[in-house]
Structure 1
Amino acid sequence: MTGKKRTGRKILLAVAVTLGVSGCSLAPSFLRPDVPLEETWIGTALEAQQEAGSHAVRDLGWRDYFRDPQLQQFIALALENNHDLKTAALNAELARAQYRITRSDRLPAVDGRATATRTRTAEDLSYYGTASTDNAFTVGLDITSYELDFFSRVKNASDAKLNAYLGTLEARDAAQLSIISAVSKAYYEMRIAHKLMVLAEDVSKTREDAWKLTKLQVDAGTASETTLQGMRSAIELARADYQAQKRASIQARNTLSTLIGQPVTRLTLEKALSLMDQFPEQPLVAGLPSEVLLARPDIREAEYALKAANANIGAARAACFPSISLVGSVGYASTDLDNLFDSDNGTWTFGPRLNLPIFNYGKLRANVEVMTVSEKIAVESYGKAIQNAFADIDNALAGRETLEKQVKATIRSDEAVARRLYLVDMQMREGIVDGLTLLDAERESFNSRQNVLRTGQMILNNNVDLYVALGGGLKEFTTQTQPAVQAEKPMKKPVL
């Protein structure tokens, strides 16, 4: 066998070994942590969940779920102008650029090179004893440094950056859901506060009328001064409540202005929809926890963080082993520019470089420990995210079930209180009862109507919580390929 054939086989063998070894990764195998959870949401029927499917809520666009045109206007402005959402999007762009930088390390860095030099050699330094002027022209390509990724250090570092980037995309989606929730609740807070203002104003006028009637009775000697002062106290309390609700309305409006990135007072607003018709008739239905939870952006973000931590362990472990980098160039060189590209003027260099971690091995091992502990922290964060998400959804489902019963009882109670106030008012006009009895009945009615409005706000917020908790809000319009909601008995609308 000739020497050239032996050399060729050695080169092929070296290439094969290099390719084979480069597939060896020291990163731990990724296994999704097992977080102990209930197999179904507490208090819900498993059969109904299976019928609903796991993509129903996620495919329901926020414009189809939040039916109020004015609220849709606020949400659209917030998604366009909110500073937190913009920051989350910029973080995603930053992570994408960092990933591209790291990914480029997996390919050789090739630079073009062209030089032209003119050198004069002094007579005393000349080999021929006479001064001379020489030209040198070179052109070619250089490989500055290319690491042979024997233990997948570069690949794992690239994978870590990729998962970090994907995590920022999920963080951006989670921020969008959070903003939609905040805008909706601030909007409902503003609307309910306004209704409570109107209620307090009406009650104040009613109490003033009762005070005037009582004043006539005092002047006639049929009522006492004590009753009159009680009426005056009730009037001032209603006025104080009006100011409190006015403050709450202004604060909610300011919160909305912050969320949408511009003053609400400068907007030309769409006509608002009744608070009783804010959502579709059919309630949202959750799927199986094992499917629904993995569709949430915060859970996916935690999972990407765990995958990134896994890859960082592999990169840190690989750094403890020797690495080989290749440096080389190919091109042409000549003293005459016209003859630069002649075949005999071709040049090339090739030189591998071996890096052995010796004196910094302790530092590298400590870095492995750091990455290992970071991976354990990521596991705990993932488990916490899963449990928190489960609690969010289950609390929202439990809230829907209990609030429906609560609002029915509240409405029945308010109807009874209103009937009592009517009867007491008739009795007072006939002189059967005094003003204090009427004042007591009127206070009870005021508190009851306030309670109805606040219970209605809780129902509105609960609908928002359930929609966002199930992953709704990432799409503007409903996906038509699947049903967005499961037909069931509609939830009782708040009487607002």
Structure 2
Amino acid sequence: MTKPDTRLGTLLLAGALAGCSLAPAYQRPEAPVAPAYPAAGPDGAGPAAADTAWRSFFSEPRLQQVIAAALRHNRDLRAAALRIEEARAQYTLQSAERLPALNASLGAARTRTPAALNQSGRAGVGERFDAGLSMAAFELDYLGRVRSLGEAALALYLASDEARQAAQIGVVAETAKAWFSERALAEQYALAAQTLAGRQRTFELTRQRLDAGAASRLDLRQNETLYQSARVAALTLARQRAQAENALTLLVGQAPAAPPAGAGPDDAALDAMSALPAGLPSELLARRPDIRAAELRLKAANANIGAARAAFFPRLSLTAALGSASAALSGLFDSGSGNWSFTPQLQQAVFDGGRNRANLSLSETRRHLAVADYEKTIQVAFREVADALAARTYLGEQVAAQLAARAAQAERLALLQLRFDNGVASALDVLDAQRELFGAEQALVQARLLRTTSAVDLYRALGGGWQ
């Protein structure tokens, strides 16, 4: 067999052995959660959250504009996109290790040999010209070490993309919740401002009556207390609304081009938003990108074990060169000027101070950590869905009960006002009824906000938000 045939056979054998891998067979861990959600309540019949685009779930045009701006300008999403580029570059670098690196060279050398070292006894000047291709220390991956590292890099790259999708879903949900919170605070502030105006008029009227001798100082102080309390409530809500606007600006990444306006969703819209089918916990493994990202990180850790195991075995590398050499530039490519070299090398660590064993132990420990992270991610997702389903079960009834309470307080105030006008009830009774009606109206706004945010949380927990 000729030398070229020997080289070809060696390469074919290395290629056949390259299919080997010392990485352990990957098995998805069992989901450490119950097979069904507790207190899930009646399930919706609409499309799954993961199949519902956020523009379909949030139908308010101004809110859609704000969410779209957040997806363009949010700094967390910008950082997530850059992490994808980083992971892609790392994967490209690792993939390049599976291919030989070829270098072209063209060189010239001019040397002077002293007379004492020259056979002719005279000093001489020699020239040499070289041109060729070379391949330096290309590892023949017969145990899959390089391939395992490439698989780990690919899994981390895909995990970074899943993490970006999870971040996008989070930005959509948090932007919507910030929008609805600002709207609820605006509605509460409007109620507080209306109450404040009424109590200020009553306070001024009582002061005029005191000046005329028709009211006592006790009546004045009672009305002043109610007026100042309403003023405190209005100022508190104004501060909270301004802070909610700042939170929305931070999520969007700039001041929203479409400022919040209008009221929050009504009860019919809330019923539609809450009517998402929960499905089974096992379906979350495919729906939620954070769970998919955790599993990909687990696969990367599993592949790294294969690379760590392969380090215990000899490493086979190949160095080769092909070119031509001549004493004159004009004869560099003449017949007979060709040269080549072929240098396979087998390298085995004899003593490494326990480095390979420690690296294998580190890889196995990181795999155990990745399993724990994967299982915790599933448990957190299960808890988020279960909490949102529990909120859906009770908040609808809570809003209905609060509506009834507000209606009862409004009727009570109307009856007491009628009795006061006829001299049967006292002004204190009317003021107390006004205060309780104001509290019932504020509680109703807060209950509707809780139901709205729980619907958004359920949408996010089930994997919706990015289509």
With the length of structure 1 as denominator, give the TM-score of the two structures: 0.87
Q: Over residues 377-420 of structure 1, what are the superposed CA-to-partner deviations in whole Å (9 max), with x where a residue is unaligned?
A: 11011000001111111211221121111111110111001110
**Identity of paired residues, percent?**
38
The within-5 A match list for 1:325-474 is: 325-360=317-352, 362-474=354-466
Look up the match of 1:31.
27
Shift in Å, 1:188: 1.3
Shift in Å, 1:218: 5.8
Change (3 A) 1:423 1:221: farther
Matching residue's letter, 2:15: L
Q: 2:38 aligns with which of 24, 42, 46?
A: 42
Matching residue's letter, 1:253: E
Q: 1:123 aligns with which of 115, 120, 128?
A: 115
1-side partners of 2:68 and 2:317: how far apart?
52
Look up the match of 1:194.
186
Of 379-388 and 210-219, the range deviating more from structure 2: 210-219
Change (3 A) 1:217 1:428: farther
Is residue 237 from structure 1 mapped to residue 229 from structure 2 by the alignment?
A: yes
Matching residue's letter, 2:346: L
Q: 2:291 aligns with which of 299, 315, 319?
A: 299
Q: Over residues 401-446 of structure 1, what are the superposed CA-to-partner deviations in whole Å (9 max), with x where a residue is unaligned?
A: 2111111111011100111011112212222121221121111111
On the 8 A contact 1:73/1:270 being kept in 2, the answer is no
Shift in Å, 1:269: 4.5
Shift in Å, 1:131: 2.8
Residue-pair matches, total: 465
1-side partners of 2:240 and 2:188: how far apart?
10
1-side partners of 2:427 and 2:325: how far apart?
112
2-side partners of 1:141 and 1:278: how far apart?
71
Look up the match of 1:154.
146
1-side partners of 2:271 and 2:406: how far apart?
26
2-side partners of 1:417 and 1:271: how far apart?
28
2-side partners of 1:448 and 1:459: how far apart?
16
Change (3 A) 1:122 1:10: closer
2-side partners of 1:273 and 1:34: how far apart?
45
1-side partners of 2:346 and 2:22: how far apart?
20
1-side partners of 2:27 and 2:242: how far apart?
50
2-side partners of 1:354 and 1:344: how far apart?
32
On the 8 A contact 1:411/1:452 being kept in 2, the answer is yes
Of 211-220 and 389-398, the range deviating more from structure 2: 211-220
Change (3 A) 1:421 1:407: same
2-side partners of 1:353 and 1:228: how far apart?
101
Shift in Å, 1:66: 1.1
Q: Over residues 238-261 of structure 1, what are the superposed CA-to-partner deviations in whole Å (9 max), with x where a residue is unaligned?
A: 111111111111111111111222
Change (3 A) 1:308 1:143: same
Is residue 134 from structure 1 mapped to residue 126 from structure 2 by the alignment?
A: yes
1-side partners of 2:33 and 2:258: how far apart?
48
Change (3 A) 1:305 1:368: same
The within-5 A match list for 1:99-110 is: 99-110=91-102
2-side partners of 1:29 and 1:231: how far apart?
77
Q: Over residues 232-291 of structure 1, what are the superposed CA-to-partner deviations in whole Å (9 max), with x where a residue is unaligned?
A: 111101111111111111111111111222234xx3548657532867946222233212
Matching residue's letter, 1:258: L
The within-5 A match list for 1:197-236 is: 197-212=189-204, 214=206, 224-236=216-228
Look up the match of 1:478.
none
1-side partners of 2:28 and 2:307: how far apart?
20
2-side partners of 1:13 and 1:146: how far apart?
16
On the 8 A contact 1:83/1:261 being kept in 2, the answer is yes
Of 168-177 and 211-220, the range deviating more from structure 2: 211-220
Of 236-245 and 277-286, the range deviating more from structure 2: 277-286
2-side partners of 1:326 and 1:10: how far apart?
13
The within-5 A match list for 1:81-100 is: 81-100=73-92
Look up the match of 2:265.
275
2-side partners of 1:69 and 1:271: how far apart?
11
The answer for unaligned runs of 5 or more in structure 1 is: 476-496
Change (3 A) 1:328 1:361: farther
The answer for unaligned runs of 5 or more in structure 2 is: none
Look up the match of 2:307.
315
On the 8 A contact 1:286/1:292 being kept in 2, the answer is no
